[in-house]
Structure 1
Amino acid sequence: RDSRWQPGRRGREWPEAEKAEKLARGAALKWASGVFYRPEKLEALGQYRSRETKRNNSIQARLKSTVQSYLEGVSAGLEQLRAAAEEVQSVRRELGAARWALGGSAERRQDLQRMRALMAEHVQLASVVKVLPQLFSAPVPVFSRTLELLHEQHLLEAHAELMMLEQLRDDVLFQLHLRGLSSAQATVLSYFRGLQELNESLAKQLWGIVGRSLQLVREDPVLFVSAVRIIEREEKIDDALLLDATFLPPGRPKGWRQKFYHVLQETITGSRLLTARVDTTGPGLSRHLAALQREVVAELLVVKDLMVQCVPAHYNILSICPAMYHQALSSHLQDILQEDLDKQGLFLLLEWVLHVYQSPEMMGHPGLLPEVDVSALGPLISPDLVDQTERKYVVKVKVSVQSNRRTLEVEFKEWFREEEPETDHQGFFQSALPVIVMQVGPWHRRLQHPSLPCYLQGRCPHCASWATAPHLLSPSSSVSSLHPDTAPREVPASLQAALDRTQRKACQLLLEELLLDLQPLCVQLPSRKWLSGSQLVSSMCEVIDKYAKDFSRIRKPISMLLLTESERLVTSQYVRALMQRRMVCRGQEERGQLCRRLLQDATQLRELFQGLSLEAVFALRELICLKDPALLSLEVLGFITKYPDVSDEHVSSLLDLRGDVSKELRHMVLEMMAQHPQAPPEGYQSIFSTILVPAPELPFCLRKGKCA
């Protein structure tokens, strides 16, 4: 242990050093106890002591060197701080002297400010002097000559002069801008103040021409083409200046292409039809919508065929103009809907918006396709407004129906009167019911005199369906005449289908009445009383003739349809009666009598229907009159070829009526039918498929077996 170490003193001055020394001594003791824990290791104690002494001396030498270098650095730093303090004192003394020297120079500074202003003015004047030759190069008569060219509508020449003057002005202003002489620009602008007048005069003429563009492209497109070329020139000048973006002359960019579209939109929106007061009462709205349809289609055709050739392709005029018309019409129709329209007006407007507008008669016109795509324009009025208008229409129709209830009740009583209904000038029955219905609906004011549906005299005053049906017989012809003005228009497919169903239902009601009158007579067929010369068919003809006379007072083609359906009904009922197995011929003589009766009946009925065929009855007669039963297979094959809807039951019933067909022959005929199935040809009207044949009676027998 070093004798110079004083633990108390060092502990008081550096407590961390004392703690470190204690830790080191502890570590050394731990190391020594580990090394010398055996006696034989004590021999090497001198070597360990010598090595650690050298190591300790080396560490102390390095520490002394480090402390020495640290002290030398501190000494150098102190010397530098001392020198810096001396320099600061020197600078302070010099700044005080400078402040004292500048204390009396305030007046000289004001003189320098005046000199600076004079110098700036001198530079401006020098710059103006440099551009004076350019200013004087623009002769004063150019302004008056350009204005004269505008008045004479020499637009391209006038615009060329205008561009030359603007280029000169912009060059002078650009030079002043580069020199930062903004105050001198006012002098130049005052010198070129005539340019503003020329610009305004040219623009006024251009927008007047654009406003008459649809007329000019049809009559003389040269003026319109000149205006478009000027607008295109100005657009290119704007694009070049905006691309540079270092200096924009006064009035730039002009944006005349956007102004071109704006004027077109104002022209379309401000057209006579879109701004005129619309008479929404009477036929005024119908005529207005028809006029809108004609004018819009005509103007769009002019745009597609003529205007598109006069403007650049990138103007996209074929897409922009239809969109402008679409927007203008949408706004116009919304204004009309703000008024209190009646039910007819609401219906007309909804029909025009939802059907006419997109139809081939307007925006879907073949002449506009495929360039004009109406589907890309969106709805003409919003779906919410459509729903609102439909609700208003339904409310008004309900009110109208309620108000006409009394009239309908009176008309209903007329259906059951015993007197003959009124007739028109051609002798056809007519009724006031369609007029009443049309007044309830949306079309009654579009019409001067519709073709009134036919009316038949009711046979049974207790049958309301018979009295009601005649009013429904020709709704299609009535609706087809309900078109505004004289423009024909097809009935929509959905409405036509509904009218066709109504017609078929009305005809069915009438034919059902005919069937009710025929059934008591048909149940007597066939019978031996009928074979012996009964007036049964004559009675049937009387019934049919009464109906045919009523049918003759129905307008075509309904009358012909009723006669055709009546023939099919009579044929069906006659054939059905023959197949009910009410009679079986007892021999050849009775079969011959049956054949003669069938021929008389078919001939009498055919004469009644004025030449309409009853071929099914004649064909059945051939089957029954065949004398050789062995030929029945061939005859039946021809029969089923002509009438493919004949079934085995029908043929069996006819064979039963003959009374001379054996079981073997019947089996052969039916087997032949199974081997030669027939498919109905296209357009075939079935007869036998509607006839049900009763099942043959089974012979009575008792089953063998014991009694229970």
Structure 2
Amino acid sequence: MEETNREAEATAVQRVAGMLQRSDQLDKVEQYRRREARKKASVEARLKAAIQSQLDGVRTGLTQLHNALVDVKDIQGSLADVSKDWRQSINTIESLKDVKDAVVQHSQLASAVENLKNIFSVPEIVEETKHLIEQAELLKAHRKLMDLEFSRDDLMYEQYRMDSKNTSDMSLIRIYFEDVQSLSDELAKQLWMVLQRSMGTVRRDPTMLVSVVRIIEREEKIDRRMTDRNKQTGFIPPGRPKQWKENMFKVRPRRHPHPTGRTRSGSDYRSEMMGHPDLRSECDVNHLEPLLPQDVVDELLSKYVQTFTSNITGWLRKALETDKKDWQKDTEPEADQDGYYQTTLPAIVFQMFEQNLQVAAQINEGFKEQVLKLCLKQMNTFLIRYKEEAIAYKEDHLRDRQLPQCYIQYMIAIINNCQTFKESINSLKRKYSQSSEPTASDANIEKTLNEVAKEGCQFLLDEVFLDLELHLNELLTRKWLLGSHAVDTICVTVEDYFNDFNKIKKPFNLEMSGEAHRRVVVEYIKAVMQKRITFRNAEERREGADRMMKEAEQFKFLFRKLTAGEDTDRLCDSIAAIAEVFKLTDPTLLYLEVSTLVSKYPDIREEHIVALLATIIETLSQSKPAYMGIMQPIFKDITVPSMTMTSMTSMATAKLLK
């Protein structure tokens, strides 16, 4: 301490010596003394505030540690009680074996009763399903097939649980439902037939192709569920897993049949005839002219491109119309293997592109590149239409927010489709393009997809804040000060919505969390600036500041959870910083607190400071220090140039901002 004092004295002497190097500076000694006194007071005030903040933090930490210790003791006592009860109940559990057997039997009977209707009507349902398959009503046929399979699987599972070694009863159930497997095989044949003719089907009836894809996705989900149950219980129904998705890729046509046939004929002509040993000595195929002149080839390719352009425009329009009809459904969209909502639109679109690119690849590399560029160009036009339809979908919903019932889920699927489109486009380019350089078309597609996704996220956030509007208007009002639960309701509502928003793919889900956080804080600070409440005294103002600090912590906790632990403190700290200004009891510290606020948030403007001061200035004036004794007037007879109060306030505020 003594050494510190000596260093301070030496520094002070050196500083004073630097100030008083000339004789004329002695006249300014008093001015220097006052300036240093002000600096000292400012530093002491900052130090006092910092120490007070640290003490508050230590006090809070000790309180939390004490509460944690109490909780640990309570948990320890509860664990001891549980352990005691468990030891006492061992004998009781052994005596409940008969009850357990009765429960198993009851479960089996309940399953039988639940499926009784299907059990008695199995022959009738089998005939109906056969008829639906023959009529190409594949979705309805698959629904009835699923009902039959669920009834059979539930009965067999209950029998397996009760007595897994009783093969006779299991065989009886299998024989009774033996037609179910043949129906499944028949339906599979129809699916493979549609897929083999997908080029014609997608032009004639794209809905049929969509139905096939949906049926296969449903069966994939059932396969995964049955495989998981097999790992847990050891039981798996007959015929599972069906693995229809793998079979789909095996039977799907690799190329368009007609150009492929022509290509194969040309190949046979060259290899089997021109390559025949008896003809080899007569001619050299390397010196033969092409079978078709180049101008004819160019004309044929030009016609193909024109036809393809016309066809793909129609295909994309029909695919989008089908997807739009799905948006109005009362059931949620299907999810991928990771649980993210999606529709079948990207799969249908890129299956079209894939098949046509395979055809183009059979001709030559240059034509393949040309078709790829054409696909990407049509994709850009299609995405602009997709964006317009998403906006129209939102506007229709705002006219009646009760419809469609699954608006949020399908808007999430639209956002996720944008990410799927990006991945599929990159996959096509890697597979069919030799150039890795980005093009103008790529940039336009990327821009449009980002716009669709971001606008979709904005639509979802607008939906959230429409529900929060009443509670946000309640902030910083007299009702809020007296104990409103507005912030609790806001936090619960946001968290509930984000349970659905978890089905959004990265990076859009993280962007949504950050934007929701920013909007909540902005709305809160707006409420502060609008002066919705007039504090009656300094005590009320201090209560409001404490409530603001508490609610800032609530927002921090909520958005840390929603953003998976990312740093969310800076936004919420702006509320706490304003609360510190509200807490002021000493008017002399106002300059310090406002300066701190401006340094932390440089984008704060003059009107913000004026609005903030207008909220607290009335009660702050009550805290002015009283001066003892009678003071002789000094400024009474001094006149200054006229200046309005408003301009004076603006100048003072501008100085604070600097």
TM-score where L is the length of structure 2: 0.40
- Counting helix residues as a fraction of each chain, which structure ranks higher? 2
**Bigger Cα Rg:** 1
